[in-house]
Amino acid sequence: GDSVTQMEGPVTLSEEAFLTINCTYTATGYPSLFWYVQYPGEGLQLLLKATKADDKGSNKGFEATYRKETTSFHLEKGSVQVSDSAVYFCALEYGNKLVFGAGTILRVKS
Amino acid sequence: SAVISQKPSRDICQRGTSLTIQCQVDSQVTMMFWYRQQPGQSLTLIATANQGSEATYESGFVIDKFPISRPNLTFSTLTVSNMSPEDSSIYLCSARVGYGGELFFGEGSRLTVL
């Protein structure tokens, strides 16, 4: 069945460091891909999405490109801030259902 | 957009009891879902809550254990029945505004079963 694999965390970075969180997927057909973020004490929020191959989703300085050839949707940010500390979930959508990765904890130190 | 409120936000329950979680959305939504997030694991879809009819359950989840109601377009409940420690999880309500629209999530209900 469809699945999503994310790099394990926690990922600990210093402020202004470059961030990559890897995400690969297995799916039949061409799913839409998402990154969700969960800040401490809050619910999940959509961070960005891409609906077809080569689409780039971006928001709040984060970017991810839908790569069909490598079945990947890696999350990147050029310069992280302490306020980016959260749990990040990669997900794919088939029909009206989302399949989530395990989540990656990001900790940013000042 | 949609703002989703869940109650309770957390609870500690005794083995063998049942607990009902309520989910209220501030606008009419087309689809509502219930997810489970077990400790250290990802979110798993339990079921799609259908308005006025029986919920559609995913593999591994059954109505007797997780009865769901959705009496209208803005409200749903999930009951966790005959709880055991393995049911200790965060249960999240989510809703979609319009077909193909963004999926919004509540803050979750953290259940601990002793």
Highest mean pLDDT among A32-41, B21-30, B73-82, B92-101: B73-82
Contacts of A21 (CB under 8 A, 6+ apart): A6, A7, A11, A74, A75, A76, A88, A90, A104, A106
Question: Does the pLDDT of residue B90 top 90, yes or no?
Answer: yes
pLDDT category at A2 given cuts 50, 70, 90 is confident
C-alpha distances out from residue B38 to B44, B95, B99, B106, B107, Å: 9, 20, 28, 16, 15
The answer to whether B31 touches B45, Cβ cutoff 8 Å, is no
| Cα distance between residue A3 and residue B31, in whole Å | 22
Max CA separation in chain A (angstroms): 43
CB half-sphere exposure, A6, CA atoms < 13 A: 27
pLDDT top residue among A76 and A42:
A76
- Interface touch A43/B4, C-beta < 8 Å: yes
Query: Virtual CA dihedral for B104, A99, A6, A51, nearest 10 degrees?
Result: -70
pLDDT reported for residue B97: 81
Question: Does the pLDDT of residue A59 top 90, yes or no?
Answer: yes
Percentage of chain B lying above the pLDDT 90 cut: 75
C-alpha distances out from residue B12 to A89, B30, B39, B46, B113, Å: 27, 32, 15, 21, 6
pLDDT reported for residue B74: 93
Question: Does the pLDDT of residue B99 top 80, yes or no?
Answer: no
The DSSP output letter for B50 is: P
Which of B23-32, B67-76, B84-93, B94-103 shows the lowest per-residue confidence on average (mean pLDDT)?
A: B94-103
pLDDT reported for residue B53: 86
Both structure tokens of A12: 């600990």
- Interface touch A96/B102, C-beta < 8 Å: no
- The alpha carbon of residue A15 is apart from the nearest alpha carbon of chain B, in Å, by 26
pLDDT category at A23 given cuts 50, 70, 90 is very high
Residue of B33, B45, B107 with shortest CB distance to A43: B107
- In the numeric block, the tokens 């891409």 are attached to A50
pLDDT reported for residue B40: 77
pLDDT reported for residue A11: 96
- pLDDT tens figures, A69-108: 999 999 999 999 999 999 999 999 977 788 999 999 999 9
pLDDT reported for residue B101: 76
Q: Which of B80, B60, B78, B56 is nearest to B69 (CA)?
A: B78
| Cα distance between residue B52 and residue B68, in whole Å | 11
pLDDT reported for residue A37: 95
pLDDT reported for residue B12: 97
A4: closest chain B residue by CA: B42
Angle at B113 (CA atoms; ends B110, B114), nearest 5 degrees: 140
Taking the Cβ of residue A31 and every Cβ of chain B, the question of whether any pair is shorter than 8 Å is answered with no
